[in-house]
Chain A
């Protein structure tokens, strides 16, 4: 691959976000770094509370009170946007970086038709109005394979089925041809047969337009089938990051191994599932060692005392685990 020469679609370096409440300061994400090349799909995996959605919001410039970005840089197509004003963010949000949300019913405005909402973004960002905007909008609905696009243009979001609504939202997110698309659990609310259609659609659009795609999901099946690379998050940090095959083939963090053992498989029956004892720490109470140590079968004394730094355990394979060699050997 020659992606090193071109600017990456998205680069996030040492990003931290804190949430301040009266009694605690919680680090929602801490020192998060990753990058996505043009036409590449990076999956951001983790369970609830791991910080994947906060990461997405931070990258979109959407962290609001009581949260704030305390550190780090964000580059979109090589341009540092981390110090952008709200006004500058509005100009690039949607145009250079866009987002598809999980819950399309609440992400779309219920009092405007789907067509009006599409036309709006052309008007604001491109100054295209009237019949020209309408034509573009209908083309987009066709592009995301919504049947009868001309009629659908005049319908309200509630008149769409879940799958069609998600298509409409994808149409909206790609309307201005962004370089980076962030899809936050885009199919979690959908049935599996519809999920497959939506993921196919996203993959096709991404290939055609060479977008960098950040796919946020908790579903390791989707990761295995759809991602080029994976970053695993736990308690606000990226604990492991590598190409998909390596993550599944030689996991090198205690959490990744545990997570892979806990997933039920459709292709075989395996008897009892491996469980991960306990549950993730609450935000703001992570302690001083590795956050996963209390639940980790590989944990040693060092894990409880010192947060492991991310290191390159293999070419293009980063893990933040003191015991990564043992983890990797035993999970083979």
Chain B
């Protein structure tokens, strides 16, 4: 499998919702490419549009503008969209307590994809395959007849992963898959996801607000703020040399679990994320930005490479400073 093949891409996708006559732009003109076998992390705070973007990538929502391509083919529109995409792209959800049907057994949950996509596997082989999937994710196949309530949070997340693996998808979109889990269990699930990627060549879009988790699992990351990507690039580059003031503020805000490394409080970002119903003009971040200039409230900055061909940033102050 070549790293250069594109597994999934989004081209200038936007999604708007209407509420009480107002229009809310959840995702605004986002470009994204996911290469085969890699993990692309999407980080951002609540309301930044990362979950809406995830839903468009798996076909649960259809973009108002732009398109999503799976292995170069445009995602179908309309009611057939989800049937067509769910063979190739699957999703693991945040909350293992609400994303599994409590009235189905764990075995039935993992078997369900085969009953929807009947042609994939003959009936006679399904039970055996379900047992294999249980083993693959580290669950005992003997527990197939138990109900979700009988499993712990970490085990439930494994059931969700087994279900996502059933149709042998090329891509799995993980929306905050470990956010609801305790640290010790979180590490187990992260390592399982990494192992599955190594063995099966699956590509992940990994959505998380936890930057520490992201650093351990992603190859490349994209940072979102109020519906737009403000910075993207290889994970170590973005963490070690963040360009956008928002990315810097975000990274500095994460407490490091080492008392010898005192936090630099001077860069604490002020204020809250503005409501997406009242987007600031120009650069969306200018209301909280420590380096904003008057022009920032007028122009929407473009995402452009800066100092490295794969490290992109949307900030005129940063990119302008060096070109002058």
With both chains docked as a complex, state the minimum distance between the C-beta of B74 and any C-beta of chain A, in angstroms.
34
Is B184 on the interface with A (CB-CB < 8 A)?
Answer: yes
A226 contact set on B, CB distance < 8 A: 255
B272 near A: Cβ within 8 Å?
yes
B7-15, B21-29, B79-87, B258-266 - the one binding chain A? B258-266
Q: Does B184 lie within 8 Å of A276, measured CB to CB?
A: yes
Q: Looking at the complex, which one of A162, A191, A267 makes contact with B261 (CB distance below 8 Å)?
A: A267
Q: Which residue of B lies closest to A267 (CB)?
A: B256
With A163-B272, A262-B186: A193-B250 Cβ-Cβ less than 8 Å? yes
Does the CB pair A191–B191 fall under 8 Å? no
Q: Is the CB of A197 within 8 A of B270?
A: yes
- In this complex, which of A223, A266, A272 has the most chain B Cβ atoms within 10 angstroms of its Cβ? A266
Interface string of A248-264 (1 = CB under 8 A from B): 11000000001110111
Whether the pair A275, B188 counts as a contact (CB closer than 8 A) is yes
In the assembled complex, which residues on chain B have CB atoms less than 8 Å from the CB atom of A191?
Answer: 45-46, 209, 273
Given A193-B45, A218-B183, A248-B258 contact (CB < 8 Å): yes
Q: Write the B193-229 contact mask toward A (1 if CB under 8 angstroms, else 0).
A: 0100000000000000111110110000000000000
Chain A neighbourhood of B251, CB < 8 A = 266
Q: Does A124 lie at the interface of the complex (its beta carbon under 8 Å from any beta carbon of B)?
A: no
B268 proximity list for chain A (CB < 8 A): 193, 196-197, 200
B244-286 interface (Cβ within 8 A of A): 249-263, 265, 268-270, 272-273
**Is A47 in contact with B254, judged by CB distance below 8 angstroms?**
no
Q: A191-B209, A279-B152 known; A273 and B257 CB under 8 Å?
A: no
Q: Shortest Cβ distance from B52 into chain A, in angstroms? A: 17
Docked-complex contact A269 and B186, CB < 8 angstroms:
no
B46 contacts across to A, CB distance below 8 A: 162, 191
Chain A residue, CB-CB nearest to B184: A276
Q: Cβ of A221 < 8 Å from any Cβ of B?
A: yes
Measured between beta carbons, the chain A residues less than 8 angstroms from B273 are 191
Asked if A307 lies at the interface with its beta carbon under 8 angstroms from chain B, I say no
> How many residue-residue contacts, CB under 8 A, span A and B?
133
Task: Say yes or no: B235 contacts A269, CB within 8 Å.
Answer: yes
The minimal Cβ–Cβ distance linking B131 to chain A, given in whole angstroms, is: 22
* Minimal Cβ-Cβ distance residue in B for A47: B182
- When C-beta atoms are compared, the residue in chain A nearest to B273 turns out to be A191
B183 touches A47 (CB 8 A): yes
Take A47-B182, A275-B188 as given contacts and tell me if A265 and B215 are in contact as well, using a CB distance cutoff of 8 Å.
yes
Contacting pair B263 A225 (CB below 8 A): yes
Q: How many residues of A contact B (CB 8 A)?
A: 47
Residues of B within 8 A of A279 (CB): 152, 154, 184-185
Do A220 and B259 contact each other (CB < 8 Å), given the known contacts A48-B182, A265-B212? no
Residues of B within 8 A of A267 (CB): 256, 258, 261
Query: How many B residues touch A, CB cutoff 8 Å?
Result: 45
Is there contact, CB below 8 Å, between B191 and A47?
A: no
A269-B215, A279-B152 known; A193-B187 Cβ under 8 A: no
Residues of A within 8 A of B272 (CB): 161-164, 194
**Closest-CB distance, B215 to chain A (whole angstroms):** 5
CB distance from A67 to the nearest CB of B (A): 22
- Residues of chain B lying within 8 A (CB to CB) of residue A248: 257-260
Q: Are B190 and A273 in contact (CB under 8 A)?
A: yes
Q: Which residue of B lies closest to A247 (CB)?
A: B259
Closest to B236 in A: A269
Q: With an 8 A cutoff between CB atoms, is A301 at the interface?
A: no
The verdict on B239 contacting chain A, using a C-beta distance below 8 Å, is yes
Least CB distance from B29 to A in Å reads 23
* 28 A-B pairs (CB sep. < 8 Å): A47-B182, A47-B183, A48-B182, A164-B272, A191-B273, A192-B253, A195-B253, A197-B268, A221-B255, A224-B258, A225-B263, A262-B184, A263-B212, A264-B187, A264-B190, A264-B210, A264-B212, A264-B215, A264-B216, A265-B212, A265-B215, A267-B256, A267-B261, A269-B235, A275-B187, A275-B188, A279-B154, A279-B185
Query: A residues touching B (Cβ–Cβ < 8 Å)?
Result: 47-48, 161-164, 191-197, 199-200, 218-226, 244-245, 248-249, 258-260, 262-276, 279
List 19 additional A-B contacts (Cβ < 8 Å) besides A219-B255, A223-B257.
A47-B184, A48-B182, A191-B46, A192-B253, A193-B249, A193-B268, A193-B269, A194-B272, A195-B253, A197-B268, A197-B269, A200-B268, A221-B254, A245-B260, A262-B184, A263-B212, A267-B258, A269-B236, A276-B188
